[in-house]
Structure 1
């Protein structure tokens, strides 16, 4: 089976974004199953590692506006192909300056990406069985396949992957024809959004299936107000929407390369972390709190109960960047109580994954409040390091976890609450974890083993579920 994959971000970046990482891992996993996925993204010279190692392998013109494009590939990376156009992709940022107004022509840039990708696939006679578009930057491929490129791709199913529904690009209705959309679908049930064109809605509108990064996120889009005004439209298209849990790369997140008993491996990881950061964790329950951009209300929930937590035999590790609004607060708390708390600095993008792995490997539990990360991959990473999540039943992957009780100890791998945004529910579960850790070491060891060795959700499992969906459509 051959698949055409179009994404605004992918490939060998010097500092991969979460979208880049997910698309790359999918490409790897597709290949392992024997599927050839032609993954196409823009050639960002400011993002790609060692751009001088790439060569132009094709030159052509896309069919929407007849603009010229070049196709680049590295001899060392056959999985990824890149589209280049000086006007659209020779810019310092992908979508626009951080925390500023996006580029005003983003709709034209990513319509061009989709059009050039389809033109290239047509030119090399890449007869794909499916087309995948990632995020709003790959959304227009579905429409273009049925209009400008209908001769080659009209019968090919389009699968739209929504990694985070909060990301969208809106443009004036005067631009509809410029980006290849049929005007007949400019309505509430199509791609219209408050008098403008929503590229996200366009992707959903022309998709055969819409894939969300976890079952919990799909349900949240349908049954809560998190969908940003799209709940009616999403419910109208509910039959298209599928939630499939994104995986993680256990080859990387497994810190125990020597295959020691997990109890010994974590003890050693704790010792190394304490030496690195000059801390004394002694025999306390080590609790990690990850405050990145997707942490949701985790910080607010923690702040409410922090004084109560530090009164217990718990040491709190906070991973945070200096740009986080609560950076000063947590550093001051740690300064006042260094025997119970420490802040470990990350950069704003949290790209130092080796640092994160070392922290999770050393930690006993992870405090995860009302996470906004759609796939909640941080929980999978935590489990892969034998670090037990304390989180809500409605948080992404948590619906697949087993809560600890006296009766479920043999299978448990998490401490769950009904609402991870509720401090009065989270605090007792931390105390429950502490009690098991201190007084029932046999049960605690079981929970750690269940997390580390019993719950593996590799990308291969994710891809196998995608292939089942393709199979149901007769592909």
Structure 2
């Protein structure tokens, strides 16, 4: 099977973005499953590593506007193909300067990307059986395949992955033809959005199936009043929407991968190492980790509301937070007042912090994850790979696939879940439940840790197997 993948971000970046990481993992998993995948993204010279390893292998002109494009590849990275045009992709930023307005011609830039990818597939005689677009930057490949490139790709199904529905790009309606969209679908049920064109809606319109990065996120999108009336549009297209849980790389996040110790011994060792690195003594306390990155949602607000109550429990709190975060000084002050109760772990926003994050997850007992905004909630999967039990809501991303602890489910439980993760009192009550099990039902706790670590193993291969199953149901 040959699949053409179009993404605004992918490949060997110096500092991978969340989208780059996800697309790269999906690409690797496709290849490992025996799929001939061609993942195309822009050639960003300011972001890619080892530029000297790349070479231009093709020059052509795309069909939409007749603009020239170059195709770059690297022997070190054979699964990725890069499209280059100096005017569009020779800029210092991907979408525009940070914390500023995006480039005004982003719709033209990524329409060009889609058109050049399809053109290159034709020139290389790649017999594409499916096309997969990522995010709004890869949305227009579906429209172009069924219009400008209809002769070659009109019968090829288009699949659209929405990693985060809050990201979109809106275009004036007089630009419709310039990006290859048919005007007859410019309406409320099509890609119209408050008098403009939504590239996200355009991707959904032309997709056979729309894939979300977790079942919980898909359900949340259908049951949440999204701004601008997008909820009604999604409900109208509900049959297209599928939640496919994104995985994590256990080569990276399995804290016990090398030593392969019994999990109880491995957790005990990780706990001692964490104590030593923080120069604290956890004693017999339950260690609670709170990860406050950009995807943490209202987790900090929930924690702050019940922090005084938590400090009265046999709990040691570790807060992972960036020094640039507005809440940094608050948690620093608390840690200085109560060093035996709370410790602050600085997070670097520019990196994934794999080593320190894995160490703190492995040494912790519970991950406090309230209202996460991250659609795939990979932090929960990373916690599970470290034998750490998540405390979160039933409807938070992957949590809908987890097993909540109760005395009657003790043999299969791997999490502590609440009905409303936005309700601080529910999170506090469930934390007290977890503490009770940790202190008084040791056998149940040990079993839950085993269930989390080895019973819920969600690699990217499982994600791709579901992608391929969806393709197979369409006869591909």
Distance 1:210 1:297 in 2: 27
* Structure 2 partner of 1:358: 359
- Give 1:266 shift: 1.4
The residue that corresponds to 1:375 in the other structure is 376
Matches within 5 A, 1:140-289: 140-226=140-226, 229-256=229-256, 257-289=258-290
Query: Matches of residues 393-432 of structure 1 in structure 2 within 5 Å?
Result: 393-432=394-433
Aligned-residue CA RMSD in angstroms? 1.0
Distance (Å, rounded) in 2 between the aligned partners of 1:211 and 1:227: 20
Partner-residue secondary structure (3-state), 1:132: strand
Equivalent residue number for residue 7 of structure 2:
7
In the alignment, does 2:34 pair up with 1:34?
yes
Give the superposition deviation at 1:325. 2.0
**1:109-124 mapped onto 2 (5 Å cutoff):** 109-124=109-124
- CA distance in 2 between partners of 1:321 and 1:210 (Å): 34
Cα distance change, pair 17–333 in 1 and its aligned pair in 2 (3 A): same
The aligned residue for residue 72 of structure 2 is 72
Do 1:221 and 1:227's aligned partners in 2 also have CA atoms closer than 8 Å? no
Distance 2:273 2:58 in 1: 50
- 1-side partners of 2:100 and 2:418: how far apart? 37
Residue ranges of structure 1 left out of the alignment (5+ in a row): none
Mapped to 2, the partners of 1:270 and 1:53 lie a distance apart of: 42
The answer (yes or no) to whether the contact 1:166–1:228 under 8 Å persists in 2 is: no
Give the Cα separation in 2 of the matches to 1:48 and 1:372. Answer: 28
Partner Cα separation in structure 1 for residue 386 and residue 356 of structure 2: 13
Secondary structure, aligned partner of 1:8: coil
Q: Is the CA contact 1:210–1:242 (under 8 Å) kept in the aligned structure 2? A: yes
* Counterparts of 2:167 and 2:352, CA distance in 1: 20
Q: Tell me the residue number matched to 1:433.
A: 434
Per-residue CA deviations over 1:95-137 (Å, capped at 9, x if unaligned) read 1111111111111110011011111011001111100000000
Please give the alpha-carbon distance, in whole angstroms, between the structure 2 residues aligned to 1:47 and 1:386: 34
TM-score, L = length of structure 1 = 0.98
Post-superposition CA distance 1:175-207 (Å, at most 9, x none): 111111111111111111000010000000111
Residue 446 of structure 1: how far off its partner (Å): 0.4
Local SS of the residue matching 1:133 = strand
Structure-2 residue corresponding to 1:101 = 101
Match of 1:62 in 2: 62
Distance 1:18 1:425 in 2: 30
Contact 1:292 1:350 in 2 (8 A): no
Which segment is superposed worse, 217-226 or 53-62? 217-226
CA distance in 2, matches of 1:435, 1:205: 50
Q: Which whole-Å CA distance do the structure 2 matches of 1:359 and 1:93 have between them?
A: 33
Q: Distance in 1 between matches of 2:42 and 2:54?
A: 13
Unaligned runs of 5+ in 2: none
Q: Is the 8 A contact 2:193 2:228 kept in 1?
A: no
* Distance in 2 (alpha carbons) for counterparts of 1:366 and 1:126: 46
| Deviation digits for residues 379-425 of structure 1 (CA, Å, limit 9, x no counterpart) | 11111110100000111111111111111111000001100111110
What SS does structure 1 have at the residue aligned with 2:30? helix
Distance 2:395 2:30 in 1: 29
Number of residue-to-residue matches in the alignment: 475
Rounded Cα–Cα distance in structure 1 between residues aligned with 2:88 and 2:356:
35
Conserved in 2, the CA contact under 8 Å of 1:318 and 1:342? yes
